[in-house]
A and B are shown apart, each in its own frame.
Chain A
Amino acid sequence: MHYNKKLAQLAVIVFSIFFALTPIKAKATEEKNDHTEEFVPGEFILGHVMDSYGWHITTINKKHISIPLPIILWDQGKLICFSSAQFHHGHNAYKGYALGFTKETAGKIVRLSEPYTGPLEESAVYEFSRNFTDISITKNVCALLISVILLIAIFLSVAKSYKKRPLMPPKGLQSLMEVVILFIRDDMVIPSIGKKHYKKYLPYILTLFFFILFNNLLGLIPIFPGGANVTGNIAVTAILALLTLLITSFSGNKNYWKHIFNTPGVPWWLKVPIPLMPIVEFMGIFTKPFVLMVRLFANITAGHIIIMGFLSLIFIFGAMNPIAGYGISVLSMIFYLFMGMLELIVAFVQAYIFSLLTSMYIGAAVEDHSEHEVEHVAIKETVQNQLIEENK
């Protein structure tokens, strides 16, 4: 009962932040509308969903208020660092580097043929190349580092309170986290991996779950330090999926590889002339993490796009007629709130699914005998059914 109250409080706080900050966002877009003369919802939405070199907060009186982030480039053995404020939101070049102005390079850094610093002419034609490595602290990197710092701070403090009060009931933040940690341990990792091996993998699954959850939740907060689409970025989910693939493959025992290359209980003609089953199973090694990557990326990005779409409606109608804009804003807000709640659920569900599937793949890799085969298939089926419904 106590934990439920805590969770409810958290939800209330998150939603109040949404509601309180929504007008700021709306205003920002309205000003942008004036600036570009025409409101393009596609650009507006993608501009939010994608990565960028500065952290845009709002625009007041045609002046952008954004946090400039460091640009770090590795160009021909030289490390080049400067602030993204030098680009003046794409209007200036700095030391020969500028934000891309063609369709393919939009939102990326390009190197001009000569080291030029100053404003770019709209009518001029510039030669550019992209043969350098860009390791800038972008908005997503910044959000990622913020979430990493937040996670470290929270869990070190939780660990400290465990050390300080041994054998005592949990208190405050500790009790909020303990429910989740126990849920992951008892309902996710132990049933999937088994009592014998789970201790080795529990830290990774816990880190994974909280990393995804925190980034999902931070992404739902519309203003700094939230609002970045970290877990809805394919690079982030790709790394997480790759780690799942590596851990699964390196912890796979003889039994696991035997199941892949010589699946027991399958008719011989599926294996001998044409190794159909081995090929399918071998592909499965890669398709499983691939699906993990796409699922998380698509779910979070789709949620952000839908929410931004509802907000765009206000400005699409507002461009036609201001009264229509105000009228539709009520409806938009209702849909926005509904989607916001749905996204809150999705944030937890996606973190849960990613970690559950990861622990199940690890479980399949470290399983000793095929005793529990039937049980596992049953669990897998229920989870997959859930996923199908969820993805609908």
Chain B
Amino acid sequence: MNLITPDFGLIFWMLIGFGILFFILAKFAWPVITKSIAQREEYIQEQLDAADTVKREMKNLQAEHHKLLQEAKEERDKILADARKIVDKMNEEARILRDKEHDARMAETKIAIQNEKMKALTDIKNEIALLSIDVAEKILSEELSTQTKQEEMISKWVNELNLN
């Protein structure tokens, strides 16, 4: 029976001992421990959330970056294409202009050549005329060197005139 009859002394000390234990732990240990654990849990959750957000932002940023790059590439291609077109056009224009100039110069040259030719021809003609006159003079002087020959001549010319 002793086994199942509680002793007053033990009840008394149990109340005091357990009371002190509960008081001290509930005042100095449990609040610190549970609060720290909760704080750490919160902190870890926050960090995880932050990491998630950063990850998502990174993804967005990457997508944006990618898009920008794509746009830049397109822009570059467009600019290049435009530039090529402009270059082509300029080349074409230049070619046309060159052709025109060439034509004009050719025409000018032709005219100049013609002029030179005409001038040369005229000079030659003049020269020939002078030479002819000289020759004619020499021939005439040769022909009219004697009296008889002069008279013959005149008579011939008069005859010819009469005939007309």
Of A106, A166, A204, the contact of B26 (CB 8 Å cutoff): A204
Task: Please tell me which stretch of A17-25, A119-127, A131-139, A379-387 contacts chain B, meaning at least 4 of its Cβ atoms lie within 8 angstroms of it.
Answer: A131-139
Decide if B6 touches A137 in the complex (CB within 8 Å): no
Decide if A203 touches B36 in the complex (CB within 8 Å): no
Task: Please tell me which stretch of B17-25, B69-77, B110-118, B127-135 contacts chain A, meaning at least 4 of its Cβ atoms lie within 8 angstroms of it.
Answer: B17-25
**Cβ-based interface call for A144 (8 A):** yes
Decide if B33 touches A162 in the complex (CB within 8 Å): yes
Decide if B39 touches A136 in the complex (CB within 8 Å): no
**Cβ-based interface call for B14 (8 A):** yes
A148 to B22, CA, bound (A): 9
A159 to B27, CA, bound (A): 11
Decide if A158 touches B24 in the complex (CB within 8 Å): no
A129 to B16, CA, bound (A): 27
CB-CB nearest in chain A for B34: A202
Decide if B34 touches A185 in the complex (CB within 8 Å): yes
Q: Nearest-CB distance from B141 to chain A (Å)?
A: 140
Q: Nearest-CB distance from B59 to chain A (Å)?
A: 28
By secondary structure, the B interface counts as: helix
A243 to B11, CA, bound (A): 12
**Cβ-based interface call for A277 (8 A):** no
Q: Nearest-CB distance from A294 to chain B (Å)?
A: 9
CB-CB nearest in chain B for A73: B9
Task: Please tell me which stretch of A219-227, A230-238, A309-317, A320-328 contacts chain B, meaning at least 4 of its Cβ atoms lie within 8 angstroms of it.
Answer: A230-238
Task: Please tell me which stretch of A4-12, A43-51, A249-257, A259-267 contacts chain B, meaning at least 4 of its Cβ atoms lie within 8 angstroms of it.
Answer: A43-51
Decide if A239 touches B31 in the complex (CB within 8 Å): no
Once A135-B9, A144-B17, A167-B43 are accepted as A-B contacts, the answer to whether A46 and B33 lie under 8 Å apart by CB is no
Once A148-B17, A211-B21 are accepted as A-B contacts, the answer to whether A163 and B32 lie under 8 Å apart by CB is yes
Once A50-B2, A133-B8, A158-B29 are accepted as A-B contacts, the answer to whether A239 and B24 lie under 8 Å apart by CB is no
Task: Please tell me which stretch of A26-34, A149-157, A332-340, A364-372 contacts chain B, meaning at least 4 of its Cβ atoms lie within 8 angstroms of it.
Answer: A149-157
A138 to B10, CA, bound (A): 8
A-B pairs with beta carbons under 8 A, tally: 126
Once A107-B2, A156-B28, A234-B4 are accepted as A-B contacts, the answer to whether A166 and B9 lie under 8 Å apart by CB is no
A233 to B40, CA, bound (A): 40
A119 to B18, CA, bound (A): 38
Q: Nearest-CB distance from B25 to chain A (Å)?
A: 5
A336 to B13, CA, bound (A): 32
A30 to B78, CA, bound (A): 105
- What B residues does A306 contact at CB under 8 A? none
**Cβ-based interface call for A141 (8 A):** yes
Point out which of B5, B18, B24, B37 has the most chain A C-beta atoms below 10 A from its C-beta.
B18
- What A residues does B25 contact at CB under 8 A? 151-152, 155, 203, 206-207
Decide if B20 touches A158 in the complex (CB within 8 Å): no
Decide if B14 touches A159 in the complex (CB within 8 Å): no
Of A135, A159, A166, A167, the contact of B29 (CB 8 Å cutoff): A159
- What A residues does B20 contact at CB under 8 A? 148
- What B residues does A167 contact at CB under 8 A? 39-40, 43
Once A156-B28, A167-B43, A207-B21 are accepted as A-B contacts, the answer to whether A51 and B10 lie under 8 Å apart by CB is yes
Decide if B13 touches A145 in the complex (CB within 8 Å): yes
Contacts A/B (CB < 8 Å), 17 sampled: A133-B9, A134-B9, A138-B9, A138-B10, A151-B21, A152-B21, A152-B29, A159-B30, A166-B40, A167-B39, A203-B22, A203-B30, A203-B31, A207-B21, A234-B6, A238-B6, A239-B14
**Seed contacts A133-B8, A199-B34; 7 additional CB < 8 Å A-B pairs:** A138-B9, A138-B10, A155-B29, A155-B30, A177-B33, A235-B7, A239-B18
Please give me the 3 A-B residue pairs with the lowest Cβ-Cβ distance, nearest first. A235-B6, A162-B36, A235-B10
